[in-house]
Structure 1
Amino acid sequence: MTRFLRQYTRLAPVPLAPEVLLHQADEPIGLWEDTERGAGTQQPPPFWAFAWAGGQALARYVLDHPELVAGRTVLDLATGSGLVAIAAARAGGTVTANDIDPLSLAATEANAAANGVRVTCAGGDLLDGPPGADVLLAGDVCYSREMTARVMPFLRRAAAGGALVLLGDPGRAYLPREGLTARAAYDVPVTEALESTTVRHTTVWQV
């Protein structure tokens, strides 16, 4: 991970949440190819190396409304770079960041250290188990039909059990709108190489 961070990323402020610094990549393809070469097998995209629109919006919302997470246990699902987890930690939450990608968790640890906050990292797939937190945060998780079909029931169970569940989404095609209440919206600067645009209109939804 140290080699990837040095070779492909630079520590820079997040556009919509400049209070947070992340190791961010400018060019996704070379990084993705290198992670696959290093692993010797097909790897997921390097979600951990970019500040995705849904995560940026959710981080901004949490930073602007710290009372939502302060003093509460928080699970950041599919944490990617750790952006949302770091924002929640800055806002006073006791935060666990979850991802199935070990590189994501390593990047989250490095990013949390760069921001001087404490985030507990948890690997593995949690979607069949209990939510186990007062607040669930999920940024940009509805990017595929398969992911949406698994993550939305988990988030709805958490909400039904009394957790505050917030979802940041930039209009992905698979997001189901039923049972969602819009809490905020932002025009989020994004990486054109990933999104084919420079700005994504992004909504923070409560489940």
Structure 2
Amino acid sequence: MGSSKKGMLNVLIAAVLWGSSGVCAQFIMQESQMSSPFLTMTRLLFAGLILLMLGFVHGDRIFRVLQNRRDALSLLFFSLFGALTVQFTFLMTIEKSNAATATVLQFLSPTIIVAWFALARKARPTPLVLGAICTSLAGTFLLVTHGNPTTLSISPAALFWGIASAFAAAFYTTYPSTLIARYGTLPIVGWSMLFGGAMLLPFLRRPGHRFCG
């Protein structure tokens, strides 16, 4: 299988797994009354630890990125505005609506990425890409309004968090490319998730704050 086909297969698998994770998250929050911030923290901490262990077993030098001050700061920036934000906004959208709506809204991120690169590089998208963007926007419009532009079929809070999730996903996808090229996928994604989850700990451990509900 060529690299292009492998890439498309990985994208397909990632989309299925991400959508499935949204369904699981919705079930957990509904059945256990767990708050989205606590679930975000739990997901990030455990996923980060697992990915770092996999990287270590795989032979990656997982601590190398922490030895470079500039790259370590870049990793922390990505942890906050990438790993943490993309998870938190996604789960908040689920909390305010449902997993299907959250997934559709977040998957506006490719449109944001294309628009950003078109502006930054002054490269006009191909007709096929433009068609995909228009279809994506039309589908989102129908989801949000049910065809009536004067009303919303979801709450304003769900729309806000969903759009924020799309921007966060676009940043999460594009920002760490240099770090990943230098240190590998598992160390960068693993540390970013672990740091992102750790960043929520001080807020969720305040006196009187309930982890659930």
- Shorter-chain TM-score category? under 0.3
Q: Which has the higher contact order (CA 8 A, sep 6+)?
A: 2
When normalised by structure 2's length, the TM-score is 0.25
When normalised by structure 1's length, the TM-score is 0.25
Structure with the higher helix share, 1 or 2: 2
Larger radius of gyration: 2
